[in-house]
Amino acid sequence: MMDYDSLLSRKVKSIAPSGIRRFFDLLEDRPDAISLGVGEPDFVTPWHIRDAGVYSLEKGFTKYTSNAGLLELRRQISNYLFRRFNLYYDPKKQMIVTVGGSEAIDLGVRALVDPGDEVIIPIPSFVCYGPIVTLAGGTPVYVETKAENEFRLTAEDLRAAITPRTKLLVLPFPNNPTGAIMEQKDIEAVAEVLRGTDIMVLSDEIYAELSYGDKHVSIASIPDMYERTILVNGFSKSYAMTGWRMGYVCGPAVIIKQMLKIHQYAIMSAPTTSQYAAIEAVRDGDRDIEMMKNDYNYRRRYILEELEKLGLHCFEAKGAFYVFPSIQSTGLTSEEFCERLIMEQNVAVIPGNAFGSCGEGFVRMCYATSLKELKEAFRRMKICIDSL
């Protein structure tokens, strides 16, 4: 009998499975359930993008691409970043096409972090940063963002978390799960803390296009920040392309060169069909982004109003497709609230503490769901809350 437990890597065993998991397990065998749980657009990828993928298959483009991705795709991404965010990255030296934004995050962390290095991670945030840092041998240092600051990262909180061992700051805005954004002034304040240090920034801007107030500002566009920023972005959220697994990472050429080694050994190259579809998306998809963003915005306003009616207070989330209301008025913990909601009314939302302990007292709701479903979800939520 093999003693697998002693064989398994201690590092791997030490990381906890995603806290979201239990709530998705509860969803099983509940055909009538409405899920505001999964953070994924409800749109199907626009047809012209799917068609480009199909066409590439008809032409027989089924081989590997170059490790960094199709040059034409990198050129188009470079053009896009300049057009939309005023950033310039050399398609040949400063960019890798990755398997989703997730791989890009992994590459960034692994290229920089040595054992003993500290990585500052604002929470609540997407669940992957801490485990990836741990696997790289680094130490995650969590900084709690607060509801009274609309879950933005403040200069003071960042400064307090910096030590001589700090190597990297993860900047996950617009934010999953809170829907928080960082406005220009907030980004400038963070930049001011970093100036003169040698701390790098991993800016996860996968939701950059889904910013409903002012246009998203990338930290890479702030003076002195370009040279210390690794920019992560991708196609999943903005073009409704989650299943294609298409992301990219941009940054200083020296760092990208090292990241490319990891990518070439672990991945080889991102999926070819997806890359052809992505060329079409980034070249001709601005209109699709606008259309979907408009639609999310309607639902965002709707959901914020419905939450207020239910007495669940929520700051005005202006990014991504999440709201993060407080459920403290119900007297329940986040998990109790979510469990009752799913067991009694078949509505799935995610407890805030799945995204970091300071998310306790909040829940994440994804509004990338049709208005019809949102309406029904709120009807059921009201019944649940009234019965408390």
Binding site for other proteins (CB under 8 A): 17-18, 20-21, 24, 28, 38-40, 127, 298-299, 301-302, 305-306, 371, 375
Residue the block writes with tokens 């991945």: 267
Positive or negative, the CA dihedral 69, 74, 77, 81 is positive
Nearer to other proteins, 81 or 365 (CB): 365
* In the complex, minimum distance from the CB of residue 355 to other proteins, in angstroms, rounded to a whole number: 12
| Three-class secondary structure of residue 219 per DSSP | helix
Q: Which amino acid is at 46?
A: P
* In the complex, minimum distance from the CB of residue 11 to other proteins, in angstroms, rounded to a whole number: 20
172: phi then psi, degrees, rounded to nearest 5:
-95, 75
Nearer to other proteins, 21 or 146 (CB): 21
Nearer to other proteins, 39 or 325 (CB): 39
Nearer to other proteins, 228 or 237 (CB): 237
* In the complex, minimum distance from the CB of residue 4 to other proteins, in angstroms, rounded to a whole number: 22
* In the complex, minimum distance from the CB of residue 175 to other proteins, in angstroms, rounded to a whole number: 15
* In the complex, minimum distance from the CB of residue 20 to other proteins, in angstroms, rounded to a whole number: 5
The distance from CA 240 to its chain's CA centroid, rounded to whole angstroms, is: 14
Spell 43-52 as b/e; 16+ CB within 10 A means b: eebbeebbeb
66/325 Cα distance (integer angstroms): 45
Task: End-to-end CA distance of the chain: give it in Å, rounded.
Answer: 51
* In the complex, minimum distance from the CB of residue 328 to other proteins, in angstroms, rounded to a whole number: 24
Nearer to other proteins, 186 or 204 (CB): 204
**Contact assessment for residue 276 and residue 235, using Cβ atoms and an 8 Å cutoff:** no
Nearer to other proteins, 52 or 127 (CB): 127
How open is the CA angle 25-28-30, to the nearest 5 degrees? 135
The first and second tokens of residue 230, run together, are 């690794």
